[in-house]
C-alpha cells in the first residue's frame, strides 16, 4: 500500500504475519520498521465419549486452542470454561458451539454436532428376581439413584388396581419384591409400574420418570 505525503494511513491486515512500514525513495522501498499482526485464535471443539458419571449422561468438550475467553452453547446451556461437561437427557442431534476471544479481541467460532442415541431413564433395569442366587439381583432400584446426589421418591404401583406396592426416598432401601400392603412377594412374572419424582433435577432434566419392572 502506498500513500501520498502527509496523508493518514489506515491499514487493515488481511492475514496474520509480519509487515514492514517504510517509504519510497528514488523508486525503491526503504523499510523503517516492521510489526507483527497476530492471528485470531482458531476455535476447535474436541468431543469426548458419551458416558455416565455419577449416574448422569455426560459428554466432555475441550476448547482445543489457547484464548483469553471461551463461550459455549450446548443444549440451551451456556458455559465459559475452556473445558466443560454437559448432560444430555433426551435422544437426538445437538449443536455444540464455541466462540473464543483472543487477548486483542479477535474472535473465532467452531460448531460441531453430537447425536445421542437414547433417552436417559435413570439407568433402570427392566427385571429382577427376589429369589435369585446372586444377592445383587434380589432387590431393585434405578441404578442412577445410587450414585446421584438427588432427592427423589420412588413408587412401585400395582398395574391392576393402581395401589402403591412400595415407596421410598432412600437409595439404600431398594424394593425387595414385597407388596407392603400384604407383606407377601408379588407373584412371579408380574409387571409393575415404577415412577420416580426428582425434587432437584439438573438443568434441562425432567422431574418425572417412569417405566415397567418385571418381578421374575
d(CA 46, CA 48): 7
Report the percentage of the chain scoring pLDDT > 70.
88
193 near 157, Cβ under 8 Å? yes
CA distance 187 to 185: 6
In tens, the pLDDT along 185-200 reads 999 999 999 999 999 9
Q: What is 95-145 written as a DSSP string?
A: EEEEEEE-TTS-EEEEEEEEEE-S---TT--SEE-TT-SSGGGSSB--THH
pLDDT digits (tens, 9 = 90+) for 131-164: 999 998 999 999 999 999 999 999 999 999 999 9
Q: Is residue 124 pLDDT above 60, yes or no?
A: yes
Give the residue among 202, 49, 50, 198 at the shortest CA–CA distance from 124. Answer: 198
pTM of the full predicted structure? 0.80
Average pLDDT over residues 48-71: 94
Write the pLDDT tens digit of every residue in 70-110: 999 998 899 999 999 999 999 999 999 999 998 888 889 99
127-215: CATH number: 2.60.40
- pLDDT at residue 154, as a whole number: 98
The CB density around residue 148, as the number of other CB atoms within 10 Å, is: 19
Domain 45-116 sits in CATH 2.60.40.10 = yes
Task: Please state, as a whole number, how many other Cβ atoms lie within 10 Å of the Cβ of residue 90.
Answer: 14
Q: 66 pLDDT exceeds 60?
A: yes
* C-alpha cell read off for 119: 433417552
User: Where exactly does CATH 2.60.40.10 map onto the chain?
Assistant: 45-116
pLDDT at 31 over 90: no
Amino acid at each position: 500500500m502506498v500513500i501520498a505525503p502527509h496523508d493518514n494511513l489506515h491499514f487493515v491486515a488481511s492475514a496474520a504475519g509480519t509487515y514492514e512500514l517504510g517509504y519510497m525513495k528514488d523508486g525503491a522501498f526503504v523499510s523503517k520498521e516492521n510489526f507483527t499482526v497476530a492471528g485470531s485464535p482458531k476455535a476447535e471443539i474436541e468431543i469426548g465419549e458419551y458416558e455416565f458419571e455419577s449416574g448422569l449422561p455426560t459428554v466432555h468438550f475441550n476448547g482445543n486452542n489457547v484464548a483469553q475467553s471461551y463461550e459455549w452453547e450446548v443444549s440451551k446451556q451456556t458455559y465459559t470454561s475452556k473445558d466443560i461437561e454437559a448432560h444430555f437427557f433426551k435422544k437426538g442431534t445437538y449443536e455444540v458451539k464455541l466462540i473464543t476471544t483472543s487477548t486483542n479481541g479477535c474472535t473465532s467460532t467452531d460448531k460441531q454436532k453430537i447425536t445421542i442415541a437414547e433417552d436417559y431413564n435413570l439407568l433402570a433395569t427392566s427385571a429382577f428376581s427376589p429369589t435369585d442366587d446372586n444377592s445383587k439381583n434380589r432387590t431393585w432400584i434405578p441404578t442412577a439413584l445410587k450414585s446421584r446426589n438427588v432427592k427423589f421418591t420412588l413408587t412401585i404401583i400395582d398395574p391392576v388396581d393402581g395401589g402403591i406396592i412400595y415407596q421410598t426416598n432412600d437409595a439404600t432401601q431398594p424394593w425387595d419384591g414385597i407388596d407392603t400392603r400384604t407383606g407377601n412377594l408379588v407373584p412371579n412374572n408380574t409387571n409393575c409400574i415404577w415412577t420416580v419424582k426428582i425434587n432437584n433435577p439438573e438443568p434441562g432434566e425432567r422431574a418425572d420418570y417412569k417405566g415397567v419392572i418385571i418381578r421374575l
